[in-house]
A and B are shown apart, each in its own frame.
Chain A
Amino acid sequence: MDVNYDDIKIGDAIPSYTTGPITRTHLVRYAGASGDFNPLHHDESFAKMVGLDSVIAHGMLIMGIAGEAITAWVENKYLRKMSVRFLSMTEPVDWNDVENTKNRATITVNGKVVKKYEENGEKRIHCSIVAKDALGSRKLDGFFIVALP
């Protein structure tokens, strides 16, 4: 499945990657895995105290999903750089109102090849990346660089 440098064209899309809706359980799992116990991500009373309607996903969970999208396409070992800006908050799905809340919690990652070049004796491609929810709201954007065979 290896992606080859010579087969890549500028403007090529990277395969689109979509998750199921993010739940509060996913946030707790990510907190425990990453060690990020900012209560904003699991304690509803804290989230409300600081003026939010609900707990929100870790920006780093969304970036982790973007990392999954990239490494589903090219091998992890080829990654040289990954850079993102977090653009909006993500609220998880509410189980008592799945129909109206699942889209805000469903993340799709897309990207495309912007540049091909040689650096450090490697054939590298620079790709843009963007993650949006199913309502079209942008969660993060940025770029990544991979060295390809």
Chain B
Amino acid sequence: MADRSKVGMEFPTYTITVEKNKIAEFAMAVALKEEKEGINPIYYDEASAKKAGYQGITIPPTFLTSFAFWTGNGLQEIVKALGIDLNRLLHSEEEYEYYGNIYAGDTITRKMKVVEMFERGKRDRVGRFVEVTILETEVINQRGELVAKVRSAMMER
């Protein structure tokens, strides 16, 4: 069961470089494609990206979530810090606000904090009662620009 005293807790700040090949790999994964040629070239070819109006190879919209997994100790660090039982964990909501673009080669800092923890449903109704934890992450680039915000809801069933 999530530890309610963790509301307001800030995780350590982590930094990661956005790797070109990781972008292509991610874009292939969400397009369910086995080769680069099946995806939008803005995710692997610099010239195509520039032609389409980007400063370089850019990221798919949901790539932001992977910053949480590839930094620190990923999901394990989050569930351990919050006392969440992985066996009961489900991701229930995800929201992104985009303020700028992220490109291959950018150095990204993620600042994650616990903004809310609450119960939903009735305790006497098995399967209907869940505990929800809301995490908010600021995504900042190497120039100190806030490029995106991520809001994630996780629930324990």
Q: A33-B22, A71-B40 are in contact. Are A60 and B91 (CB under 8 A)?
A: yes
Partner of B32, one of A22, A60, A79: A22
Q: Is A38 an interface residue (CB 8 A)?
A: yes
Closest beta carbon of chain B to A1's beta carbon, Å: 11
Q: A67-B60, A83-B95 are in contact. Are A38 and B75 (CB under 8 A)?
A: yes
Q: How many B residues have CB within 8 A of the partner chain?
A: 37
Q: Which of B89-117 contact A (CB under 8 A)?
A: 89-98, 101
Partner of A64, one of B29, B87, B88: B29
Q: Are A77 and B53 in contact (CB under 8 A)?
A: yes
Binds A, one of B1-9, B64-72, B118-126, B139-147: B64-72
Q: Are B60 and A34 in contact (CB under 8 A)?
A: no
Q: Which residues does chain B contribute within 8 Å of A71, judged by CB atoms?
A: 40, 60-61
Q: Which residues does chain A contribute within 8 Å of B17, judged by CB atoms?
A: none
Q: Which residues does chain B contribute within 8 Å of A32, judged by CB atoms?
A: 25, 29
Complex CA gap A65/B54 in Å reads 22
Q: How many A residues have CB within 8 A of the partner chain?
A: 38
Measured CB to CB, the nearest residue on chain B to A26 is B32
Q: Is B81 an interface residue (CB 8 A)?
A: no
Q: Are A65 and B30 in contact (CB under 8 A)?
A: yes
Complex CA gap A80/B94 in Å reads 14
Complex CA gap A142/B90 in Å reads 17
Q: Which residues does chain B contribute within 8 Å of A34, judged by CB atoms?
A: 26, 29, 65-66, 69
Complex CA gap A17/B88 in Å reads 32
Q: Is A137 an interface residue (CB 8 A)?
A: no
> Interface code A90-104, partner B: CB below 8 Å = 1, 0 otherwise?
000000000000000
Complex CA gap A103/B95 in Å reads 27
Closest beta carbon of chain A to B101's beta carbon, Å: 6
Complex CA gap A38/B60 in Å reads 21
Q: Are A81 and B96 in contact (CB under 8 A)?
A: yes
Complex CA gap A35/B62 in Å reads 13
Sorted nearest first, the 9 A-B pairs with minimum C-beta distance are A35-B69, A64-B30, A83-B95, A33-B29, A67-B61, A33-B26, A30-B29, A35-B70, A34-B66
Closest beta carbon of chain B to A134's beta carbon, Å: 15
Q: Is A84 an interface residue (CB 8 A)?
A: yes
Q: Which residues does chain A contribute within 8 Å of B40, judged by CB atoms?
A: 71, 76
